[in-house]
Amino acid sequence: MSSMDFKPTNETHVVDAIRWAISEREPLSVSGLGSKSGLGRATNTAHVLDMSAMSGVRYYEPGELVITVAAGTPLSEVEELLGENNQQLAFEPVALNRIYGQAEKGERGTIGGLVAANLAGSRRLKAGAVRDHVLGFKAVSGRGEMFKSGGKVMKNVTGFDLSKLMTGSMGTLAVMTEVTLKVLPMPEKTRTVLVYGVDDDQATRAMTAALNSPHEVSSAVYLPAAVARLSEVGRVGDANTSVVAVRIEGPEPSVLERASEITSLLGGFGRTDELHRTNSQRLWWETSEASYFATGENTPLWRISVEPAKGAVLARNVLSETGGEGYCDWGGGLLTLSIPGNPARSARAIRQSVAAVGGHATLLRASETVRSTLDVFDPQSDGIMALSRRIKKAFDPEGVLNPGRMYATF
């Protein structure tokens, strides 16, 4: 059958497209603006369900700290609107267009895509991930049934929390048509304290000291010298050495005091400096979106979640075996590793190391060929895989939504 590409403008269209897919046994590839098309296993699904025409803000009440948008609404549009009201998505949305070499399109993807991928940035440790900010949604399941879950309020335990199930499910269970997100005020003031010239172990100790202090640190990253030099922030890029950066946000008097406390706390580890608003914003944006590796070379990239205290050592061990470079965000809990060569080889080293301490690795960037044969998301334990397969079957029994995108078998 030739390619049937659907571009629904309302919920009923989505139902019809999915029912068509079921009746024809022709799976659909669910897409927004295509900014994350490089994420997940490569599949050769012939038909596209393009959600980008279902766009627009449906409800926004700044005083309620809530926004409801159609799933195809561009992230940049939402961020702009929130910014006008001095609010933000506190989990720091991660766009992948730059590392996928699509920066020129200026597209940071849709809200639906953001939720489907559950990619949170550097503030994740303090503010939580995307999953912690999804209050409710409307969707059409792989059965072609329209349904909703959650609501528009902060506190809600009415029924199972399907918002969590949808977040990070990569469009494999249902197609979201509307999402309600919690929004938060932008911090009045931001400071980033830098510590120069620390090694892996010192970096871990410095980040732990900062995160275990009462100073409400919102982010802590360790950039080894090879990565730090890729930063466009002068005080980091030109430092010619490794950098630990610690972010402090909040009301002005509080931030000034805490920044000075953190500086004295970390002074023993090395020379310190401070970034103010603009530089700080740039550094955390680079760090959240891994733009250090948006060089156009498309070296395979891994995103690895492990227990923070073991992150830097794990990165060092993996890289010493595979070559490449990387950095540790989330106080050591999130590694982004750029490893040249065939990812199938590095996958073994990574998965062994991660399995030894507990955690999860994602092949964030690789060629389509690689992604059609290699697991992009770490396979889970047998018990969880069986459970996940049953859940997939419950929501999408015919396998018409993004089959193979998360795991090869469903």
Partner 1 sequence: MHMPEPDSATLERRDRVIADLAAMTGGESVISSEDELRAFECDGLNIYRQLPLAVVLPETTAEVSAVLKYCHEHGVKIVPRGAGTGLSGGALPLADAITVGLGKFNRVLEIDYDNRCAVVQPGVTNLAITQAVQHEGFYYAPDPSSQIACSIGGNVAENSGGVHCLKYGLTTNNVLGVEMVLMDGEIVRFGGKHVDAGGYDLLGVITGSEGLLGVITEVTVRLLKQPATARAMLLGFETSEAAGDCVSRVIGEGIIPGGLEMMDRLCIEATEAFVHAGYPLDVEALLIVELDGPKVEVDYLLEKVAGIGRECGAVFERVSETEEERAVFWSGRKNAFPAVGRISPDYICMDGTIPRGQLPYVLGRMNELSKQYGLRCANVFHAGDGNLHPLILFDANAPGELEKAEQFGADILRLCVEVGGVLTGEHGVGVEKRDLMGEMFTEEDLKQQQRLKCAFDPDQLLNPGKVYPQLHRCAELGRMHIHHGKLPFPDIPRF
Q: Site for partner 1 (CB under 8 A): which residue of 58, 105, 154, 367?
A: 154
Query: Measured between alpha carbons, how far is residue 38 from residues 11, 90, 295 in Å?
Result: 26, 25, 16
Rounded Cα distance between 328 and 148, Å, is 37
The set of residues, in sequence order, having a beta carbon less than 8 Å from that of 352 and lying 6+ positions away, is none
The span from the CA of 293 to the CA of 93, in Å, is 18
**What part of residues 319-338 is at the interface with partner 1 (CB under 8 A)?**
330, 333-334
Q: Closest by alpha carbon to 56, among 182, 178, 202, 158?
A: 178
* Contact call for residue 131 and partner 1 (CB under 8 A): yes
CA distances from 82 to 75, 86, 88, 184, 410 (A): 11, 6, 6, 9, 37
269-288 binders of partner 1 (CB under 8 A) = none
Q: How far is the CB of 229 from partner 1 (least distance, A)?
A: 28
- Which listed residue (44, 84, 155, 296) binds partner 1 by CB under 8 A? 155
Report if residue 80 touches partner 1, rule: CB under 8 A: no
Q: Which of residues 188-207 bind partner 1 (CB under 8 A)?
A: 188
Residue 374 as a binder of partner 1 (CB under 8 A): the answer is no
CB of 362 to partner 1, least distance (A): 7
Asked if 84 interacts with partner 1 (CB under 8 A), we say no
User: Given the DSSP bridges, would you call strands 134-141 and 174-182 parallel, antiparallel or unpaired?
Assistant: antiparallel
Contact 249, 189 (CB under 8 A): yes
Interface with partner 1 (CB under 8 A), residue total 106
Give min distance, CB of 240 to partner 1, in A. Answer: 30
104-112, 274-282, 284-292, 299-307 -> range binding partner 1 (CB under 8 A): 299-307
Q: Is 386 exposed, middle or buried (0-12, 13-18, 19+ CB in 10 A)?
A: exposed
Q: How far is the CB of 317 from partner 1 (least distance, A)?
A: 16
Residue from 84, 214, 297, 369 in contact with partner 1 (CB under 8 A): 214
81 in contact with partner 1 (CB under 8 A): no
Of 130, 101, 125, the residue nearest 301 (C-alpha): 101
Give the residue, chosen from 143, 229, 282, 351, that forms a contact with partner 1 under the rule CB under 8 A: 143
Residue number with CB closer to partner 1 (213 or 241): 213
Would you give the distance in Å from CA 120 to the centre of its chain? 4
Q: Is 106 in the site for partner 1 (CB under 8 A)?
A: no
Burial of 153 (0-12, 13-18, 19+ CB in 10 A): middle
Residues 255, 189 contacting (CB under 8 angstroms) = yes
293 contact partners, CB below 8 Å, separation of at least 6: 99, 230, 299, 301, 336, 338, 365
In the complex, least distance from residue 191 CB atom to partner 1, rounded to whole angstroms: 13
Among 56, 83, 201, 216, binds partner 1 (CB under 8 A): 216
Among 58, 80, 83, 86, contact with partner 1 (rule: CB under 8 A): 86
Min. distance of Cβ 239 from partner 1 in angstroms? 27
